Amino acid sequence: MALQITESNFEAEVINSPIPVLIDFWATWCGPCRMISPIVDQVATEMAGVAKVGKINVDEAGALAVRYGVKNIPTLIFIKNGEEVDRIQGATSKDNIIAKLKSCL
């Protein structure tokens, strides 16, 4: 299961993470977000210990969405050493997500 990332735990969970982090920017009212949510949770389980996977609700943490220039959701952002290294906008396949995450390792 993916971590719930908030403005209060963002620094500890994402910026200071010793392993790469995948962040899923989503909202409850977004159909494509709900479609990929179980895929993101599967990736979190499969990559546990190798990479961290978290979700940020843009309605609850709008400042983080602004900080990363998220204009469309879902947006998946890959972070390594506190810096964005890649992103995917829109729904995508589990294989594509895992391939991009592995390229961050």
Residue 71 phi, psi (nearest 5): -110, -25
- The question of whether 104 is a catalytic residue gets the answer no
Per-residue pLDDT of 48-87, as tens digits, reads 999 999 999 999 999 999 999 999 999 999 999 999 999 9
| Beta-sheet strand order (sheet of 21-26) | 3-4, 52-57, 21-26, 75-80, 83-89
Q: Would you state the pLDDT for residue 20?
A: 96
Q: How many domains does the chain have?
A: 1
Q: pTM of the prediction?
A: 0.95
CA atoms within 13 A on the CB side of 6: 4
Annotated active-site residue 33? The verdict is yes
Query: For residue 70, what pLDDT is reported?
Result: 97
40-to-35, 63, 97 alpha-carbon distances in Å? 10, 22, 8
Residue tagged active-site, from 2, 5, 33, 64:
33
Instruction: Look up the domain containing 19 and give its range.
Output: 3-103
Which of 30, 36, 58, 76 is catalytic? The answer is 30
What is the average pLDDT value for the chain, to the nearest integer? 96
Write out the two tokens for 44.
Answer: 């979190």
What is the average pLDDT across 78-102? 96
Q: What is the CATH number of the domain that holds 46?
A: 3.40.30.10
pLDDT of residue 64: 97
